[in-house]
Amino acid sequence: MNKPAKILLQTTIPYTEDDWHIGRFSLLKKHLESLKDADEQPLYEVTARDRANEPEADDPVLSTIDTSDFDELWMFAVDTGNGLSKNECSAITRFRRRGGGILSTRDHFDLGSSLCTIGGIGPAHFFHSKNNNPDPDRRSRDDEGTQSIDWPNYHSGANGDFQKITATEPHELLRRADGSTIEYFPAHPHEGDVGAPDGDPAARVVATGKSQATGRPFNLVVAFEQGPGGGRGIAESSFHHLVDYNWDTDKGCPTFLEEPPGDGYKRDPAKLDDVKAYVSNAAKWLAG
């Protein structure tokens, strides 16, 4: 019997009830744990946790992840810019170099900008105050509905609704079980900005969305192939693709969310199958 791959689902903040703590990713964890092989044995062993300390004191798991037995790190950067210490970023960089797979995701403005310091994958994440998009035309507001949030803030729809995505090329990450291409992701009023870093031949944009506010296309998913830089990686524009609230708004959200939710998935729950297929593909692909 094959051993299940070990996945760490990790936020960049200590537990805070009224925030995006790891408990708000319970549906993702449940789905990953439900995946079985042909002998009905679990494919993945999933650990879900928030960081144990403030960034001034190294988290005991993140700062040693390169010497752990984890195969994948799914990082939900929900901090405001200081969620990872220097030692943690170095260990995460070494983790990928020794073959570990990393999914990294963040959100609008500077939310999750601690990701910038992770080697290789960090440069794929563009923020307002750090690592700007090299295209100056992208440094402007997209969503004007929530004035407290500045660029990047691509409006793909309401939380609880789904958005139509475009695969820029055929890719394992975006393939349904029947071989057709995934078409729908959870929507969000203000997604972040990602892109393939200049000079990295392993990185390419594989999925884009379209702003419901301006009609502009924007990048959703950057895939890093395995190569000299280490294991495979994914950079996503928003953790809202994977959080409970965007799969089922009845799960609730922090009180600081201002926007009213949509009911797209409640009206058409079958559309949620696409993001679940993407999650299954990502877990398999990142495992190499």
Q: How far is CA 89 from the centre of its chain?
A: 17
pLDDT (tens digit, 9 = 90+) per residue, 36-86? 999 999 999 999 999 998 888 999 999 999 999 999 999 999 999 899 999
The predicted structure's pLDDT at residue 228 = 78
The predicted structure's pLDDT at residue 111 = 96
The predicted structure's pLDDT at residue 144 = 93
The predicted structure's pLDDT at residue 285 = 98
The number of distinct structural domains making up the chain is 1
End-to-end CA distance of the chain: 18
The predicted structure's pLDDT at residue 240 = 98
Output the average pLDDT for the chain: 96
The predicted structure's pLDDT at residue 81 = 87
Q: Determine the structural domain holding residue 80 and report its residue range.
A: 5-286
16 sits in the region (left: phi over 0; alpha: psi -120 to 50; else beta) called: beta
pLDDT (tens digit, 9 = 90+) per residue, 107-143? 999 999 999 889 899 999 999 999 999 999 999 999 9
Closest CA relative to residue 221, chosen from 153, 168, 288, 151: 168
Closest CA relative to residue 137, chosen from 121, 126, 146, 148: 126
249 sits in the region (left: phi over 0; alpha: psi -120 to 50; else beta) called: alpha
Question: What does the angle CA 150 – CA 206 – CA 259 come to, to the nearest 5 degrees?
Answer: 30
Q: Where are the beta strands (DSSP E) in the chain?
A: 5-11, 44-49, 72-76, 101-105, 125-126, 162-164, 166-167, 184-186, 193-194, 203-210, 217-224, 233-236
SS3 state at 122: helix
Q: What percent of the chain has pLDDT over 70?
A: 100
Written as six digits, the tokens of 279 are 């999650």
Mean pLDDT of 181-207: 97
Contact 236, 193 (CB under 8 A): no
What is the distance between the alpha carbons of residues 249 and 158, in angstroms, rounded to a whole number?
11
Contact 13, 51 (CB under 8 A): yes
pLDDT (tens digit, 9 = 90+) per residue, 244-276? 999 999 999 999 998 999 999 999 999 999 999
DSSP state at residue 261: P
Mean pLDDT of 141-146: 94
Mean pLDDT of 4-17: 97
What's the CATH number where 133 sits? 3.40.50.880
Contact 247, 254 (CB under 8 A): no
Written as six digits, the tokens of 147 are 């004035």
Answer yes or no: is pLDDT of 1 > 90: no
Mean pLDDT of 214-241: 95
